[in-house]
């Protein structure tokens, strides 16, 4: 199989490409526009893996030519900072919707398979467990970022019906964990960063015991590899998350490593104020086993930030 990864240098992509081993793929095309300048993601790539890197923007590149030799594309290129997507609706839609459709259409033309990363933030319900078969009334994106992802899901379904695109949509939980290109704008990683810098963690007062779906980065990478190995391009949507946990769980886990952690409770409205309890049962029923844990992910992140044991991290 000849694999292409768009947005390859980001948080997920950098962990994915560093997990590859010789003999898995005939060719691995890494595509990124360097918008976040994560040059470090390309350092020390696994020897013997046939990587090719191309600096390209999915909104401008000749994707038919770029992806001409690819059998499968993992599409990670996106604007992912939900909190900062407000006021940037047009650019978020252009990248996350229009850009996704450009890549998907190129895949449809040549018969390549397409993995799309959506988000569990498309859910806007509370007090019940939601799954992929929830009613439309439970799909209430809370940010322009989530709105663009849901719109892309729907357009991909249309493209599958009209042009025979073989694809799968994965609603990933909020990512946490370490990678060469890791970011710190989402809850777990951000809180770990603030704690290690001695900054107070700011939490909306009523949010401490509200649940949200989280996905450990190792599980995310295993899920993507599982999809490729199982040829799971059935046009369906799958929730992919390690566990549903509360903000209190996150705070307690960080405090076990950073006892001096300070938490400031505020009354101001913040992002993701709703409680989500999302079911990962559909994906698990295919035989996928989650191996990550919030506590271990936080331990690894704090160790890396503090340089404990040389920053060594543990997969299991």
**Is residue 16 helix, strand or coil?**
helix
Q: Does domain 2-175+215-243 have CATH number 3.40.640.10?
A: no
Query: In the 8-state DSSP scheme, what is residue 94?
Result: I
Rounded CA gap, 121 and 142, in Å? 7
> Is the pLDDT score of 127 beyond 60?
no
Chain segment 68-83, per-residue pLDDT in tens: 999 999 999 987 666 6
CATH fold of 184-212+244-277+293-311, please? UDP-galactose 4-epimerase; domain 1 (3.90.25)
- Per cent of the chain over pLDDT 90 is 71
Domain residue extents for the chain? 2-175+215-243, 184-212+244-277+293-311
Q: What is the pLDDT of residue 129?
A: 86
pLDDT interval class at 186 (50, 70, 90): confident
Q: What is the pLDDT of residue 269?
A: 53
- For the ranges 110-124, 169-183, 301-315, which has the lowest average pLDDT? 301-315
- For the ranges 49-53, 143-147, 242-246, which has the lowest average pLDDT? 143-147
Q: What is the pLDDT of residue 128?
A: 75
The verdict on pTM exceeding 0.85 is yes
> Is the pLDDT score of 314 beyond 90?
no
Rounded CA gap, 135 and 256, in Å? 40
pLDDT interval class at 138 (50, 70, 90): confident
Burial class of residue 226 (count of CB atoms within 10 Å of its CB; 0-12, 13-18, 19+): middle
Q: What is the pLDDT of residue 315?
A: 47
> Is the pLDDT score of 102 beyond 60?
yes
Q: What is the mean pLDDT of residues 177-183?
A: 91
Q: Which of 260, 253, 239 is nearest to 295 (CA)?
A: 253
Residue 64, both tokens: 């038919």
């Amino acid at each position: 199989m000849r694999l292409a990864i768009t947005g390859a240098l980001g948080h997920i992509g950098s962990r994915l490409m560093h997990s590859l081993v010789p003999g898995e793929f005939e060719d691995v095309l890494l595509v990124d526009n360097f918008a976040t300048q994560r040059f470090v993601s390309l350092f020390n790539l696994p020897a013997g893996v046939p990587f090719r890197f191309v600096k390209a923007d999915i909104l401008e590149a000749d994707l038919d030519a770029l992806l001409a030799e690819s059998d499968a594309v993992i599409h990670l290129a996106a604007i992912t900072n939900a909190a900062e997507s407000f006021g940037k609706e047009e650019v978020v839609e252009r990248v996350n919707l229009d850009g996704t459709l450009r890549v998907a259409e190129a895949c449809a033309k040549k018969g390549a398979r397409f993995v799309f990363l959506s988000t569990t933030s498309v859910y806007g319900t509370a007090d019940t467990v939601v799954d992929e078969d929830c009613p439309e009334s439970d799909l209430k994106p809370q940010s322009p970022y989530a709105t663009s992802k849901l719109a892309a899901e729907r357009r991909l379904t249309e493209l599958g019906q009209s042009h025979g695109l073989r694809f799968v949509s994965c609603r990933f939980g909020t990512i946490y964990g370490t990678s060469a290109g890791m970011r710190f704008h989402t809850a777990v990683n951000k809180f770990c960063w603030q704690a290690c810098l001695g900054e107070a963690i700011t939490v909306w007062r009523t949010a401490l015991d509200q649940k949200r779906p989280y996905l450990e980065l190792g599980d995310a990478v295993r899920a993507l590899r599982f999809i490729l190995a199982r040829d799971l391009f059935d046009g369906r949507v799958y929730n992919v998350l390690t566990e549903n946990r509360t903000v209190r769980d996150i705070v307690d886990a960080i405090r076990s490593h950073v006892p001096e952690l300070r938490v400031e409770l505020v009354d101001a409205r913040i992002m993701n104020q709703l409680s989500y309890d999302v079911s990962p049962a559909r994906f698990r029923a295919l035989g996928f086993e989650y191996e990550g844990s919030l506590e271990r992910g936080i331990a690894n992140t704090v160790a890396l930030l503090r340089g404990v044991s040389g920053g060594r991290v543990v997969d299991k």
